Amino acid sequence: MKILINTSALSEQDIDFSEFATLGETRFFGEVPREELYALAKDCEAVIVNKVDIDREFLKNCPKLKYVGVFATGYNCIDLSACRERGIPVCNVPDYSSNAVSQHTFALLLSLYGRINEYTSSVLRGNWINSPTFCYFPWPTRELYGKTFGVYGYGSIGRASAKIAVALGMNVIVCTRTPPEDCPYRIVGSDEIFKESDVLSLHCPLTEQTRGLVNERTLALMKPSAVLINTARGGLADERALAEALNSGRLWGAGLDSVAVEPMREDNPLRTARNCLITPHIAWTALETRTRLVHTAYENLKCFISGKPQNIVNG
């Protein structure tokens, strides 16, 4: 079997891809122009990608293709219908990043509540050395204990985040499309979670129903002291409305790991928004997480070759 593997964002420096060679002739590619990608893929039977569009045009240029894998849980870059028409299974990697993403959710939140960026920058500028007292606090910090933590989307990452919130003494409420029977937290509606949350953390997929979920109307429902955390997808928020809410003081802060267009554009209004922390879509990138991701993608292809495919999303 001829296998083509996209290593973009995964890094061959610290991740071992060698086990794929046990399954067939393996080639790797990074960021390449579309025409070059077609040339690389024209004879391949299996392709595993990350953020590369597999559409009808791609399939037309790859007549021998039998399998599509994604180095991700999400598969919005794959035309599932076109693959199904060709009898090509598409396999994802579910639940590989729950621990890392929930950890990053609270890294953003704790940085905001503890004003970590402001204080570390201040110390580097020499302000502590020149301080007349043993401490100084021009940026008041806040305590998470007793606050209400809203979880919007109760999948594996939402569940993991809720557990961390409970460990920190927070009260958890949940808004989810399909309320689970075993949920130990109070289930609320969409408007209710915006109104009640001191911290609203987004963990739902980006769909036509959730696109622009955070908008002028829903932001107006939130407490002025509230924080929005988004480690899911940038398209969940109307970025201009969010920036305006932050800059006007209608929302206290935001911690974001994703924006609508990535890489971020220079004119993104959130770049300079007040009290807004932004990381470049790295919540999932812990070494342990990427290692788990690549190994499961290998197992997916191995199972397909053995006639027992797993994690099919277009069956």
Q: Where are the domains of the chain?
A: 2-96+287-305, 98-278
Over its length of 315 residues, how does the chain's per-residue pLDDT go in tens digits?
A: 999 999 988 877 899 999 999 999 999 999 999 999 999 999 999 999 998 999 999 999 999 999 999 999 888 899 999 999 999 999 999 999 999 999 999 999 999 999 999 999 999 999 999 999 999 999 999 999 999 999 999 999 999 999 999 999 999 999 999 888 889 999 999 999 999 999 999 999 888 999 999 999 999 999 999 999 999 999 999 999 999 999 999 999 999 999 999 999 999 999 999 999 999 999 999 999 999 999 999 999 999 999 999 999 998
Alpha-carbon gap, residue 101 to 283, rounded angstroms: 5
Which residues are marked as active site? 233, 262, 281
Number of residues that this document lists for the chain: 315
Domain 98-278 sits in CATH at 3.40.50.720
**2-96+287-305 against 98-278: fold identical:** yes
CATH class, 2-96+287-305 region: alpha beta
Rounded to two decimals, the pTM is 0.91
